[in-house]
Amino acid sequence: MKHTSITLLTLTAAASFAQAAPAAAPAFTTSGNLAFTSDYVWRGLSLNAGKFAVQGGFDATHSSGLSAGIWASNVTVGNASLEVDVYANYGFKLGALDASVGYIAYAYEGQSDANFEEVNFALTYSGLTVKASKGIAGDLNTSDYYYEANYSYDIAAVKGLNLGLHYGNDRATKNDDYAIALSYPVLGFTGTVSYSDIQNGDSITAVTLKKTF
């Protein structure tokens, strides 16, 4: 009886410990996104001739910091009507900074001579991200450096309201581009109004609804 009592006590304690122990985080996590926008703006330029675009993607992330994904949008680029991007990144810490290195391939259905590839490096601290991208294949106009700075700030006075600022410099075209955006939750989506301007070019205002799931 004594031996049995000790055994039962041990099993009970072990079961209680197992129930109290937190579940281990999964090695892989996935997410998807879907967006509707009045214009597809990329580095200060409209890639859809000011027309409506539907966009979506899927991402997979490993606990080691590796991630990969695919994203697509309808476009008006030469004879192309569809852009598909495939990308991979590795995120890591550099002291207090969040760092990442990545690769992205841009493919345009029906306009293969517009396809190109880039590698990139980014650093993030307290809402500010600086990033350098380098073209490694494709058209010469996109096979140079593109530098950018992006700042994200949550406006405490209005819960859910976010301010986004962007500056970019394309070394191939010698153009600078600027953008400012306000985002706010709308019916389960994130609604964004953005204003973009490219040096010596036209300004673009776009309205976007995006959902991540």
Domain locations in the chain? 2-212
Q: Token match 């009507």: residue? A: 81
CA end-to-end distance (rounded Å), the chain: 55
Q: What fold is seen in the domain 2-212?
A: Porin (2.40.160)
Task: Give the pLDDT score at 14.
Answer: 45
Q: Token match 């330029």: residue? A: 45
Q: Answer positive or negative: Cα dihedral of 56, 148, 142, 144.
A: negative
Of 81, 73, 86, 85, nearest to 34 by C-alpha is: 73
Residues of the chain where predicted confidence (pLDDT) is lower than 50: 1-15, 17-18
Task: Give the pLDDT score at 202.
Answer: 84
**Calculated CA dihedral for residues 115, 119, 122, 128, nearest 10 degrees:** -10
Of 112, 37, 42, 53, nearest to 80 by C-alpha is: 112
Task: Give the pLDDT score at 4.
Answer: 38
Residue 6 host element (H or E):
helix 2-20
Of 128, 130, 126, 55, nearest to 85 by C-alpha is: 55
Task: Give the pLDDT score at 141.
Answer: 59
Task: Give the pLDDT score at 200.
Answer: 72
Burial class (CB in 10 A: 0-12, 13-18, 19+), 83: buried
195 Cβ partners below 8 Å, 6+ apart? 179, 180, 181, 203, 204, 205
Task: Give the pLDDT score at 9.
Answer: 36
